[in-house]
A and B are shown apart, each in its own frame.
Chain A
Amino acid sequence: EVQLVESGGGLVQPGRSLKLSCAASGFTFSNYGMAWVCQAPTKGLEWVASISTGGGNTYYRDSVKGRFTISRDNAKNTLYLQMDSLRSEDTATYYCARHGGTVFDYWGQGVMVTVSS
Chain B
Amino acid sequence: DIQMTQSPSFLSASVGDRVTINCKASQNINKYLDWYQQKHGEAPKLLIYNTNNLQTGIPSRFSGSGSGTDYTLTISSLQPEDVATYFCLQHSSRWTFGGGTKLELK
Among candidates A47, A59, A102, A105, residue contacting B96 with C-beta atoms closer than 8 Å = A47
A110 to B97, CA, bound (A): 17
Q: How far is the CB of B21 from chain A (nearest CB, A)?
A: 14
| B98 touches A (CB below 8 Å) | yes
Task: Give residues of chain B (12-63) contacting chain A, Cβ–Cβ below 8 Å.
Answer: 32, 34, 36, 42-46, 49-50, 55
User: Are A102 and B43 also in contact (CB < 8 A) when A44-B97, A45-B97, A47-B97 are?
Assistant: no
Q: On chain B, which size bracket covers the interface?
A: 20 to 34
Chain B residues, Cβ within 8 Å of A105: 46, 49, 55
Is A44 touching B87 in the complex (CB atoms < 8 A)? yes
A103 to B48, CA, bound (A): 10
User: Are A103 and B43 also in contact (CB < 8 A) when A45-B97, A47-B97 are?
Assistant: no
The tally of residues in A whose CB lies under 8 Å from a CB in B reads 19
| B89 touches A (CB below 8 Å) | yes
Chain A residues, Cβ within 8 Å of B36: 45, 104
Is B44 touching A44 in the complex (CB atoms < 8 A)? no
Q: How far is the CB of A16 from chain B (nearest CB, A)?
A: 26
Q: Which chain B residues have a beta carbon within 8 Å of chain A's beta carbons?
A: 32, 34, 36, 42-46, 49-50, 55, 87, 89, 91, 94-100
